[in-house]
Amino acid sequence: MHRGLLFTAACLLSLPLSAQAEEYYYGVMLGNTTYEEAGAKISSSMVSGKLGYRHNEWLSAEVHAGLGGDDSANGVSLDLSWLTSAFVKMSWSAVEDGRIQLYVMGGYSAAEMEFTSATTISTTTVDGPSLAIGVDLFANRDHGIFIQAGRYLDTELGSGSDFTLDGFSLGYTRNF
């Protein structure tokens, strides 16, 4: 958990202080997260925000923070309390005017999840490497939408069970 927060803070502190206005961007997204382990698959909704800095036309740094919903399966309820991520983003413009940009991101995520069954409530915080892919579709220089899919976590819980936390989002992005 602390490694993830330190990594996020380091990414934010590395953003240049004298950047031009068009190099920063923010966004909001709605999506679905899926927690999966052997014998269990639980999906829930999620709302997130992102803040980024575009170093050049193909390299950016981005941080995400979101709140998840809850759902249940097989008698176990999962509440995704929060999810944060810090990414390095590599973009490629699919058309000459830059309105369609494909991207891949690599970084680090941390999440807090609460599991509830008939007899127990357990809260755990996990962190680990993350990957995501997506496409930005810009209506003009400043406004666009994006579609993104990612694997936020692929690790082991304290109980020894392996799990994945995947997400799919649709969002709005704004350069400023």
Tokens matching residue 3: 């490694």
Question: Which amino acid does the sequence have at 105?
Answer: M
- CA 70 to each of CA 27, 33, 141, 154: distance values in angstroms, whole numbers, following the listed order: 23, 10, 37, 19
pLDDT at 10: 56
Residues 6+ apart with CB under 8 A from 54: 22, 23, 24, 25, 60, 175
Class of domain 2-14+24-175: mainly beta
Q: What is the pLDDT along the chain (176 residues), one digit of tens a residue?
A: 556 555 555 555 555 443 343 589 999 999 999 999 887 889 999 999 999 999 988 999 999 999 998 888 878 888 999 999 999 999 999 898 889 999 999 999 999 999 888 888 989 899 999 999 999 999 998 999 999 999 999 987 766 678 999 999 999 999 98
Instruction: Please give the backbone phi and psi of residue 75, each rounded to the nearest 5 degrees, phi first.
Output: 80, 5
Q: Is 23 helix (H, G, I), strand (E, B) or coil?
A: helix
Residue with tokens 């309820």: 77
pLDDT at 21: 39
Question: Which amino acid does the sequence have at 96?
Answer: E
pLDDT at 25: 96
Q: Supply the pTM of this predicted model.
A: 0.82
Q: Is 95 helix (H, G, I), strand (E, B) or coil?
A: coil
Give me Rg for the CA atoms of the chain. 17
Give strand pairing partners of 137.
100, 145
Ordered by start, the domain boundaries in the chain are 2-14+24-175
In the chain, which ranges are E strands? 24-37, 40-54, 59-68, 70-73, 76-93, 100-116, 121-138, 143-156, 162-175
Tokens matching residue 49: 């925000």
Instruction: Please give the backbone phi and psi of residue 80, each rounded to the nearest 5 degrees, phi first.
Output: -85, 95
